[in-house]
Homo-oligomer: A and B are copies of this chain.
């Protein structure tokens, strides 16, 4: 439900950024602020928060009933009907609230085509407010961290169980279905993203999601999944081997694992996000796989599954107590295979503490045939 205290830090940040208002479309931003999980479509459905602590909601008529219960009774709503479109309604609301001539932030989910229409229609300056919205949630409260740990514990249990389920002849999508079933069974509120199961050559694509291949003896299978518990997310990856791994598979796995755990140990309050990436990347580079580490080392996580801080090269953001993020360096060899070991780490008492504990020793991730 609506909780005005959540807005306090946002007002501070808006003052700092000299914003008169911020427009927030359906997103984790909206869900976090008003617990309104709106279906995003082409209709503008948007919370506008002003720096003077007023706010209003621009609502498609057909979402009004579901939206109004998320707000106090006296909240101001600007409803618009399909026949009229929303541009005149936005204009009216800006006039009523004195936003003409103002500096207006937009969150990540306001569409580009809408920003272009607003610029044409309204005398106001529109600004990318995404960095501000990221700063808003980057430090987690104790309660949030406890919920993330519980979500991580469920993910670990799923990872243990799914190892026993994987066998040659299964399609990837069958493993995905079982993962979803397990999360439900174990009391997760929901999955936090569509599980990734990538076998054999498919595993060289970090975000592979087709699900259509059959698991074969000799494959390695990357499983990447997570859930929500009391609104907070988990996310973990393990690489399993279907039968005895080859020498090359073993070697690459050990490099990936070492990269993850060394970076985890380097995650301390006061160091930069970029320096953690460098620790992970140097290990992989040093073993000759520089061009096979395609992505960043990790991403922040919390109320949403991808958020700040991003653990990537050159990111000068300094880690602080209460920040949480994934460590998931990987080696992806096109046409052959890919691997990663992913844990979520939170900075507690100055040190990076892993929220994931499912086994990573190579003997523990080999599926015996």
Contact = CB atoms under 8 A, between A and B. Distances in A.
B207 A62 contact: yes
Contacts of A205: 62, 65-66
A62 B208 contact: no
B106 A128 contact: no
A112 interface: yes
A109 interface: yes
A367 B206 CA distance: 48
B84 A113 contact: no
Nearest to A201: B65
Nearest to A41: B306
Contacts of A6: none
A37 to B, nearest CB: 9
Interface stretch (A10-18, A157-165, A309-317): A309-317
Interface string A90-129: 0000000000000000111111111111000000001111
Given A108-B111, A108-B113, 17 more contacts: A39-B209, A42-B306, A61-B294, A62-B206, A64-B294, A66-B207, A81-B294, A82-B310, A83-B277, A83-B313, A84-B314, A106-B112, A106-B116, A107-B113, A111-B112, A112-B112, A113-B129
Contacts of A84: 313-314
Contacts of A239: none
A295 interface: yes
B42 A108 contact: yes
A66 to B, nearest CB: 5
Contact of A111 (B65, B109, B126, B294): B109
B106 A113 contact: yes
Contacts of A313: 81-84
Which 9 A/B pairs are nearest by Cβ-Cβ distance? Answer: A83-B313, A82-B296, A112-B115, A110-B112, A113-B128, A62-B294, A62-B295, A116-B128, A82-B312
Interface in A34-88: 39, 41-42, 60-66, 81-84
Nearest to A64: B294
Interface in A299-320: 306, 310, 312-315
A84 B315 CA distance: 9
